Amino acid sequence: MGRDFYQHHMELRLRDLTLQIESVKAHLAESGDPRAMADLAGEIAALEARRDQMNGKLTVLEQEPDGTWEELKSEIEDEWDGLAQDFEERMASLI
């Protein structure tokens, strides 16, 4: 998998995660449960911050020399796996 393809693939995954997070937010807002919203606000913010960090790494990946981008790819993959797992464990049941 080439760098451009990989970067595009990860951007799509992050966009999908963003849509899922927005869906959770909408579900919480519709529920009208202020306690649930307050309880999950911090977790949602943490997920969004991690997502934003990954977007930043994808920007760095674009500028990485051809010989070393695979190392950054491995780091991004590890972070993605953790982020996706955290989302599934904490939020997926709310969608």
Radius of gyration of the chain (CA): 15
List, for residues 12-51, the tens digit of each pLDDT value.
999 999 999 999 999 888 888 888 888 888 899 999 999 9
Q: Which two tokens stand for residue 8?
A: 């595009």
HSE-up of residue 17 (Cα within 13 Å, Cβ side):
24
Distances (CA, A) of 30 to 26, 42, 57, 75, 86: 6, 18, 34, 37, 23
How many structural domains comprise the chain? 1
Structural domain range at position 72: 3-94
Distances (CA, A) of 49 to 18, 41, 62, 67: 11, 12, 20, 29
pTM of the model: 0.86
